[in-house]
Amino acid sequence: MSKFYLTTAIDYSNGEPHLGHALEKIGADCIARYHRFKGDDVHFVMGMDEHGQKVAQAAEKQDLPPQAWVDRIAASFEATWHRLDCSNDDWIRTTEPRHTASVTAFIGRIRERHPDDIFIGEYEGLYCVGCEEFKQPSQIVDGHCVEHPTLTLQRLKETNYFFRLSRYAQRLHGLITSGEFRVEPEIRRNEILRLLEDGLARGPARDRQGHHPAALRALAGHAALGQPRAAAARVGPRVRPVGRCQGVEVHGWRLERRRSDRPSRCGRPALLSAA
């Protein structure tokens, strides 16, 4: 029996589910059901991204605390996937203690093995709240983000934590060009390769809800990382150890740039664009 791991993008909690969300999830569900029909041992994961400036702004508009807002939206999303009979095996929310503990432990391992992979730096640029990222000149037309032309870009300057992804650019490029790490369709594969060839611009992680997505002592390289590890063991994601496997991530086309650094334990992982 082959092991098959499947994940979708985790959706922002800034609004109700719509057809775009459903397109991705139904497609992923079809893949999961197909592999179960083949007899594969499938683990299918979906979830919610409950951090970010636009999530905090949506909560503020409703005069609700951020947690109360994301709880409401998560319930709406879960009800939608239940009505569509999605067969996911797990549902992960980024405000869950198990998620926080697992991310903290993961950052701790990075700090132990490659201490300078996470470093403090300064970044200044035009920030799009809709994309939750800084935009490059090629992504701006008439002073607006090409993906969110009705939103005003914000010029921000921040001191923040960065991940030294450039250290792994050559390896990632080789994995993609060899076909070991597949990105489909071809137009998105070429986009990621160009990004790796042209050099990777840094962009800071952002959290506008007034709390940190991971313990700062882990980012700062402090000792006492055993406690987050123990917490992760107690409440970590219900993702089974899979060893060598097939793996697929299904998501909208805008996420390829953000997913190009995602590590995988699978033999032949793939990124599939849903649109």
Q: d(Cα 130, Cα 148) in Å, to the nearest integer?
A: 6
- CA angle at residue 214 from 54 to 74, to 5 degrees? 45
> Are the C-beta atoms of residues 153 and 144 closer than 8 Å to each other?
yes
* Amino acid occupying residue 187: I
**β 133-135/118-128 pair status:** antiparallel
Residue 264's pLDDT is what? 36
CA–CA distances in Å: residue 67 to residues 59, 62, 90, 131, 161 = 8, 12, 21, 21, 24
Residue 196's pLDDT is what? 85
Model pTM score: 0.69
Residue 36's pLDDT is what? 96
User: Can you list the domains of the chain with their CATH numbers?
Assistant: 3-273 (3.40.50.620)
Low-confidence ranges of the chain (pLDDT < 70): 199-275
> Which among 119, 152, 156, 150 is positioned nearest to 134, based on CA atoms?
156
Residue 62's pLDDT is what? 96
Residue 160's pLDDT is what? 77
Average pLDDT over the chain reads 78
Q: d(Cα 207, Cα 55) in Å, to the nearest integer?
A: 10
Tell me the backbone φ, ψ of residue 182, rounded to 5 degrees.
-95, 135
Name the one residue in this structure whose structure tokens are 């993906």.
147
Across the chain, the runs of DSSP E, i.e. the strands, are 3-8, 11-12, 41-49, 90-93, 118-128, 133-135, 140-141, 144-145, 154-163, 182-184, 246-251, 268-273
Which residues lie below 8 Å from residue 260, measured CB to CB, with a gap of 6+? 172, 192, 195, 196
Q: d(Cα 14, Cα 77) in Å, to the nearest integer?
A: 11
Residue 199's pLDDT is what? 64
Residue 38's pLDDT is what? 95
> Are the C-beta atoms of residues 47 and 93 closer than 8 Å to each other?
yes
Measured in whole angstroms, the distance separating CA 96 from the mean position of its chain's CA atoms is 15
